[in-house]
Chain A
Amino acid sequence: MSSYEVAIWVFMLAAFLGFELIRRVSPLLHTPLMSLTNAISAIAVVGAILITGEKEASTLTRTLGFIAVVASTTNVVSGYLITDRMLKMFKKRNTEPRLSGSGMHQ
């Protein structure tokens, strides 16, 4: 298989996995879900680092890469932090901390 063929397989499987996972997310959490997936797609930072940090990068590519690192870092940082800030607000009241929630880091 060529590497593109593999890549298309990966894409297809990941997309279907995404569909299955996201269908199970309660509408209650759709806003934090969106900001979480947004932070995840800031994985573009990987491409941005490769281009900015390259040895023989031209001024043009380094500038573009630099802006891209700034933009995706902004997304990573604000995305994860605000998702967590939102999720902290979702509380059940008048119930003792449940055992099933013990895995949560407070």
Chain B
Amino acid sequence: MESIFPALYILAAAGFILAIKWMNSPLTARRGVFVGEIGMLLAVVGTLLRHEVVNYEWILIAFFIGTAIGVPIAYLMPMTAVPQRTAFSHACGALAAALIGTAEYFRHTPHGFAMGALVVETLLGFLTFTASLMACGKLQEILPTRPITYKGQNFVNLGIFGLAAVIGAALVASPESTWLFPIFAILSLVFGVLLIVPIGGADMPTVIALLNSYAGLSASAMGFVLDNKLLIVAGALDGSSGFILAVIMCRAMNRSFSNVLFGAFGTIQTSTKKTVERPVRSASPEEAAEILDAARTVLVIPGYGMAVAQAQHKLREMFDVLSRRGVDVRFAIHPVAGRMPGHMNVLLAEADVPYDKLFEMDEINSEFPRADVALVIGANDVVNPAAKTDKNSPIAGMPILNAHEARTVMVIKRSMNPGFAGIDNDLYYMEKTLMLFGDAKSFVSNIVKELNTALAPAR
């Protein structure tokens, strides 16, 4: 009977691997979730049946509470809040790893290699816990979303991290010094908070991916402590997933990876260049509707502003009307648009935009010169041509969507305030650019109204 448990764990690991493999296509992705669920079920059953586990009542109560929290989160959370939910679940995962590490320390006080793994587990666990809660708070806008920086910040942060690492090393050298453990835990918790303080909203995609990686690595380290291969595999999969996503996000912002690892992100200096009042052309919904209706190809570039204004459903109506009138409408999605990797895709999919109309940057960038209209909605820095032309720009070298190459550019924007990086966007002042001032949702809905009523029903 005992020999069946390793088999269950191996099957569970296979399930997790297949789950991720099947995520490579929307056609197989739900099957992936299903095998992932089976894998988790096998792992839990395999663990509950182990002879060491004798007390079930607390476990069952905890299952019940966890389910009671998890189900409403999964079904009631609006899709715009997915980044917060993700950050929150990183916090839960990291907390679990950290607490298990702590319990294991007071239970067995491991030595040598296992103690080293335990220190890594708890360090990553505690710091990811508070860092993720901070990220969640910033995303939910309970905490200020602007980066908060002060002089010597990196020094303080690295100092605290260094101190935690030294105490961790001391714990590995003499695991019996139990008094060191609470200090170690508190320093890790504090470091997690400080890590996120200087992070601004636009950097959240990288940070969330990185926290994802840390949470996974923490679970993997737990596998080393408990000598459990399933934990090692599942944690390593999660760790590498978060790591790759963080790298992709970094590349999409042309930031070095070390920049992220040392937590120095969000410290983009705001350009000191004085913004001179320059003339812009603006247009009304009627004019915008006419131009869109006359276009053959329209490329829509959504950004976080679309999510804030909840404009995705109106945008889909516009997509429907224009498609019916023979206009080819596609969506161009920058990797860092939104607050987490893939954020825009989920919002547009929720609004029923078919996913074969959503294109990533590399696929669509060559299409802009042929496009009649590039419609920018709630995006800013990701379409700023300064990234290509101005070497001194804070976003120099960042890959952008080439909206400026389209025949006409339309930008829906509340006002002329510069975006996150505080950089003026030359795109707005181009001859062919029309600024559509207003709330994204109501502006798009006015365009739809125009298309439906004022214009001739068919071409």
Contact = CB atoms under 8 A, between A and B. Distances in A.
Interface of A: 3-4, 6-7, 10-11, 14-19, 21-55, 57-58, 60-62, 64-94, 98, 100-101, 103-105
Contacts of B39: 40
6 contacts: A11-B224, A26-B24, A27-B333, A38-B86, A39-B40, A40-B16
Contact of B62 (A6, A54, A69): A69
B70 A36 contact: no
The 8 closest A-B pairs by CB, nearest first: A73-B66, A77-B70, A30-B342, A18-B240, A81-B74, A53-B53, A69-B62, A41-B238
Interface in B195-234: 208-209, 212, 215-216, 219-220, 222-224, 226-234
A28 B58 contact: no
Interface stretch (B29-37, B275-283, B427-435): B29-37
A103 B22 CA distance: 11
Given A52-B59, A62-B58, A30 B245 contact: yes
Given A22-B20, A78-B85, A46 B244 contact: no
Contacts of A79: 70, 74, 89
B89 A38 contact: yes
Contacts of A71: 66, 92-93, 95-96, 99
A87 B23 CA distance: 10
Nearest to B53: A53
Contact of B234 (A34, A43, A86, A94): A43
Given A22-B241, A65-B99, A105 B34 contact: yes
B59 to A, nearest CB: 5
B29 A14 contact: no
B77 interface: yes
Nearest to B54: A55
A43 B85 CA distance: 18
Contacts of A103: 28, 31
Looking at A30, A36, A73, A104, the one whose CB has the most chain B CB atoms below 10 A away is: A30
A27 B70 contact: no
Contact of A14 (B65, B104, B232, B341): B232
A43 B219 contact: yes
B335 A27 contact: yes
Looking at B104, B226, B340, B346, the one whose CB has the most chain A CB atoms below 10 A away is: B346
Interface of B: 12, 16-17, 19-21, 23-34, 36-37, 39-40, 43-44, 47-48, 50, 52-56, 58-59, 61-63, 65-67, 69-71, 73-75, 77, 79, 82, 85-86, 89-90, 92-93, 95-97, 99-100, 102-104, 106-107, 113-114, 208-209, 212, 215-216, 219-220, 222-224, 226-245, 248, 333, 335, 340-343, 345-346, 349-350, 352, 354-356, 358, 360
Contacts of A14: 232-233, 236-237, 240
A27 B360 CA distance: 7
Contacts of A18: 20, 236-241, 244
B89 A15 contact: no
Contacts of A104: 27-28, 30-31
A80 B36 contact: yes
Looking at B69, B99, B234, the one whose CB has the most chain A CB atoms below 10 A away is: B99
For the complex, would chain A's binding face be called helix, strand, loop or mixed by DSSP majority? helix
Given A49-B44, A62-B58, A72-B92, 15 more contacts: A7-B227, A18-B238, A30-B341, A41-B234, A43-B219, A45-B43, A51-B107, A65-B58, A68-B100, A76-B70, A78-B70, A80-B37, A81-B71, A85-B75, A105-B31
Contacts of B50: 50
Contact of A82 (B53, B74, B235, B240): B74
B20 A37 contact: yes
Given A36-B36, A73-B65, A27 B345 contact: yes
Given A50-B47, A69-B66, A83-B33, A29 B342 contact: yes
Nearest to A33: B23
A13 to B, nearest CB: 8
Nearest to B239: A15
B25 A26 contact: yes
A64 to B, nearest CB: 4
Given A38-B212, A66-B62, A73-B67, A46 B44 contact: yes
